Every structure is written in structure tokens, then in C-alpha cells.
Structure 1
């Protein structure tokens, strides 16, 4: 593994030159200068560094020796060690007598910067791997093999923990990423996707049921915090819980479809919960499979003779108020006789009586189908 590259070498140069007011060179394991306060020396061979690598120890160059070696100036050159290997050399330009006391300090600083960089790279690699594994869980749950489960175990993901999928959508999710990440629990998982952040939230179970109220409260808190403290309006879609490993993918697709139909039916809402949109989600899935065409289009039959939308509004109020005439009249500011007349008119135009459960269901499905497509 190549621990030192030009970017990291130059970072070491820049940071160590702030410690001492001397030029610093960083050479790779071949003795090539890859970072320097003197840009003209980059990519040249430093013979002093070559000797350090060969002998695995420091090498000082006095002014009188400069002409005997290629590409060097007076100074001290010390090995950069990582994992008990010499992976490069750091050189300080100047009279050895004057800079000798700085040598170990600069060497230690260089090794610390290298260690931090490697650790950060490993952490980022682990996170990228974790996101890849989560993405496979969401999209390829039927094709997971033994190699997948080995990698999951190595990265420390416990797939036995019950989780539901949550989709958080904002215009710039990178802006709120840290805020949300800081609020996740240890067993929560997440993956950034182009249009949204997917969170696999661990849930508490009791008698085979998950605590949806707790999750809803938490999502309301998140949404409120983001709007109040960061001025960000978000949309949150919560999938349903499904047992088994494949259930994670099912929950994710629930959340996706809930997000779509929720935005169509209730565009002003912030949080969409699958349980509140089961029928619209079912219809949306049926439409994707080409099965929605079997529903008679009662909606357009009504609209053809209902330019103001009064019949559809009355029908939806009838559904939302569970047929309570007093509630309907209060909601629409009409007389009860008007309610009766409009329901009769709906039956006359569609052949379906809203006061009969089966007929009402067909009318309702037709309206919902139109709203979500």
C-alpha cells in the first residue's frame, strides 16, 4: 500500500513548516521528492533520502558534502515510519548543527499526520463499504450471497435487529446530514442517495408489533428542529415494518411509494406514514403492474357533469366524515338536503350509491387512482 502521495506529502510540508521556519522536503520510498517548500525540487531524486531508505536511519548532509550528492542541500533527513516500515523520508534544509534539535520533532509530527490520514482513509473506506452493503440490502435483497454476509459481519452490522426504512428528502441533504447523523442511535444505518437520505431505523418490538408512535414522535422532532434551527423544510416518509431480512427492502419500497402518493395527496404535510396511505400505495403499485385499468373511471364520469367539483368534494367529505350528515354540512357549509341531492346525483351519473359500502369503495378507489396518477 502506498501510504504517501503528493497531496499528503505537501500537507506534511505545509504543517511542519509552521513548526519551524525552515524548508521541508518529503520524499517517497524511492527517494523522489513529492512535497516541498521549494516547488522547483518536486519530482527530483534526493540521494540523501535514498541513503536513509537503504540504511533505515537518519542521514545528515554538511555544506561541504552537497557537491558529492545529487539533488541535495545541506540538512537533516530522517525516515518516516509507519507500521514498522520506512515509507518515506522527511528532510529539513539548513546547517545540521542549527536544526538538529528540530529533527525528531518534525519527524514525529510527520508520522502523526500520516497516521491520522491513514486512519481517516480507513474510516472513510469502511463507511463507503457500509453504504454499499446497505444499498445492496435495499435493492438486491433476493440476491445476497455468503460473501455479502461475510462482509456484513466484518463491518459490524447486525442484520437480526428489527428495522424500518425512512426516507428524508430536502433540497440539499448534505446540509442536514451531520445534524441527522448525530441523532441516530448506534444500531441505526444510513445511506446517502442522489435525491434523499435513507435511514434504517432500529425499532422496539412488543408482541410482534413495532413501536410506531415512538418513531413518529422522533421524526416530528427532527423535522421541527431542522426547520427552526437550520431553516430547512424536509419531507419524511416512513415505511412499514416487515419481518425477515427481505423485509428491509420491502419497508424501503413502502417508504418510496408512500413518499410519492403522500406528496400527491397531501403536498403540505411534512411526514408521511405508510399506515396512513395503505390504499393509495396499493393502487400505485397496481398501476405500475398495469392492473389499475380494471377500475372503472367514475371520477371522470362525475367531472364530466361536475365542472365545479361539488360532487367529488361531497363524496370525499362523505368518506372522511364516515357518512355523518351533520359533519358534512358543517364542513361544506351546505344544507343536509343538498347533501342528499348530491349523493343521489352521484348515483344517477355513475350507477353507484355512495351509501352502500361496496359502491362507495369503488367510487373512492377511482378518485384516489386519479389523484395519484
Structure 2
């Protein structure tokens, strides 16, 4: 650990606000790197050189040269090595207690700086590993490099995990609390992935997102973590497109996703949906199709949701039949309308 001049000068400046003595901090070679007297920086401190050589505190009772004033010099020890010296000008018996306190403070700051450095290094290594791991969609045992990195980071990747994708404000991502057994990876300014095998974490995330109205998607539990990542992000995407708060797990949208991936849409049906979207009356018919499907073709429930009379709903169903040449009251025709609605909604969002 090398004592930086920036940290040293900060210690000097803050200390001299509290005491009426000049403070110097020297590096491991005895050169002054911080001082209350700026003219002394980058000059050799004779007393510090001797303190470093002997590895012990040395009082200076007499003046030595133009700058060698009485005072005390205490070596700074970090990890068993002398990394610098604290010097305070004044009568040794007066300034020694102050120097001892300052030495302890400086060494604690060095320990904290080293700890922060190690934490940043670990976090960077962890994020790099998680990013690479999140791309793996096959057997993790085929990737020797990732297995070794996981071992170094003490991560058991043999456990099946769910990936949770959450969209929320950036300041919330930074404050997001997870269990010590969980792992998190921010992938955009407002999206974070959480890797967990704990049901309690999943329950807590769902509860928080419902309360705060954050978007959430949860992939299946698997050791091929990239699959769960893709599922979680896909759930997040489709729940936004279809505006359904009940689409939380991938299993909730798997059927829709399979339909979209199968490309079995009808251009004519989608064209009809697009024409309806150009007018308020047409938008009412689109909403009618959606609610009629959502309510299992139940006329009473659909009428109640739409706040219209049953006769009005029947009139709308007749109009839908005329426009699409598909009868919503027939199962196969209704399914074709459902397929059209899915593709129309998806591509409208995308475009």
C-alpha cells in the first residue's frame, strides 16, 4: 500500500484545523508529501529518514538545519511495512500524544482505503463473471474458465437458480437489498438482474414491485443461467406490451411467446386490426375483442367490464364478425382473433 500525497494532504489539512502545530507527512523514503508549510513538500526530512531506518518513534529536541525544528516523528506501519512518517513540530512531550492519535487515524484510513480498493476489485471481478455467466445457455460444466472463476469467487454455480429482472429508477437499483446468498447484476441504468435460489427472495421482490409498481419478470429455475436470464427479460418485455400485472413468471407468458416465435399470423387479420386502430370506434372493438377473450367469451362478465349493455356487446361482436369474417362466438374463429390480437399488439409496440 502506497501512501498517496492526496490522502496525506487531506489528513494534514483537517488535523491543522484542530491543533496549533505544523504537521508533515513523509513517504516511505522520508520525502515530505504533505505539509502545513507548502514550501517543504518534496524535500527530504532528516528526522523521518532516521525514524524509517530504526522503525520507531524519534523525538527531535534540538533544531537541525533550517527546517529541523524540535518535534516528533512516528513511522506509519501498514501490513508490517513502513509506508510513511507522521511528523509534528513542537515540544516532544506536548505533541507526542497528538502524533500518536494522528498515527492511529492515518493507519485506519490506509486500512479503509485498501479495503475499499479490494472491494472495488472484487465487485469488478464479480460483475465480469456474472455478465459472462448470464450468456451461458448450455451446460456450465463445458466452460472450464467460468468454473475456475466461480471457484475463486466462492460461488456455487451447480445450484439451480431463478433470474429476476426488475425495472426501476437508477437510485432504487443502487439501494436494492438482497439476501447475502443472492447475486445482482445491473445491465442498464434502470434494469437489474438478481440470481437467486431462495423462494423468500422471489416473494420479497414480487411484493416490493407490486407495492412500488415496478416491472418484474422471473425466469425458470435452472443451472443454465442464460436461459433464465432470457426468460426473465422476455417476461419483463411482454408484461409491458400486453399491460398485464399478472405476467410475472415466464410460465405466465410462455404460450404467448411460443405463438410469437412460431410466426403463424395472418396479414389480413393484422391489417384489419390496424384499420380499427385509426378510429375511436375501432379502438372500442379492439378492446372488446381483448376483454371477450380475457373473460372466456362470457357475455355478462365482458359487458360488466366494458360497462355496456349486453345488447351493445352483441352488436359489437356482430361488427367484429363483419370486419374480420370471423365469428367471436365460435371457438376456432375466436382463437384466430386471439392470434391476430397478439401479433398486432406486439408489432404495434415494436414499431
TM-score between the two structures when normalised by the length of structure 1: 0.77
Distance 2:265 2:273 in 1: 18
- Among 151, 155, 179, the alignment partner of 1:153 is 151
- Among 320, 338, 349, the alignment partner of 1:346 is 320
- Asked whether the 8 Å contact 2:8–2:25 carries over to 1, the reply is yes
- State the 1:85 CA deviation: 0.9
The alignment covers a number of residue pairs equal to 342
Instruction: Give structure 2 stretches of 5+ with no counterpart.
Output: none
- Asked whether the 8 Å contact 1:75–1:96 carries over to 2, the reply is yes
- Secondary structure at 2:166 match in 1: strand
- Asked whether the 8 Å contact 2:299–2:310 carries over to 1, the reply is yes
Is residue 2:55 matched to residue 1:79?
Answer: no
- Asked whether the 8 Å contact 1:66–1:74 carries over to 2, the reply is no
Is residue 2:129 matched to residue 1:128?
Answer: no
- Secondary structure at 1:30 match in 2: coil
More displaced, 29-38 or 12-21? 12-21
- Asked whether the 8 Å contact 1:297–1:366 carries over to 2, the reply is no
- Give the equivalent residue in structure 2 for 1:117: 113
Distance 2:48 2:206 in 1: 60
- Give the equivalent residue in structure 2 for 1:257: 234
- Give the equivalent residue in structure 2 for 1:48: 47
More displaced, 253-262 or 143-152? 143-152
- Give the equivalent residue in structure 2 for 1:177: 174
**Mapping for residues 169-208 of structure 1, pairs under 5 Å:** 169-171=167-169, 173-175=170-172, 177-178=174-175, 180-181=176-177, 184-204=178-198
Instruction: Give structure 1 stretches of 5+ with no counterpart.
Output: 205-210, 226-232
Distance 1:277 1:250 in 2: 15
Distance 1:366 1:151 in 2: 47
- Give the equivalent residue in structure 2 for 1:207: none
**Mapping for residues 175-254 of structure 1, pairs under 5 Å:** 175=172, 177-178=174-175, 180-181=176-177, 184-204=178-198, 217-223=203-209, 233=212, 235-244=214-223, 246=224, 248-254=225-231
- Asked whether the 8 Å contact 1:12–1:113 carries over to 2, the reply is no
Evaluate the alpha carbon distance shift between residue 168 and residue 304 of structure 1 in structure 2; reply closer, same or farther with a 3 A threshold.
closer
**Mapping for residues 274-353 of structure 1, pairs under 5 Å:** 274-282=250-258, 286=261, 292=263, 295-304=266-275, 307=279, 308-309=281-282, 310-353=284-327
TM-score between the two structures when normalised by the length of structure 2: 0.82
Please provide the CA RMSD for this pair: 3.2
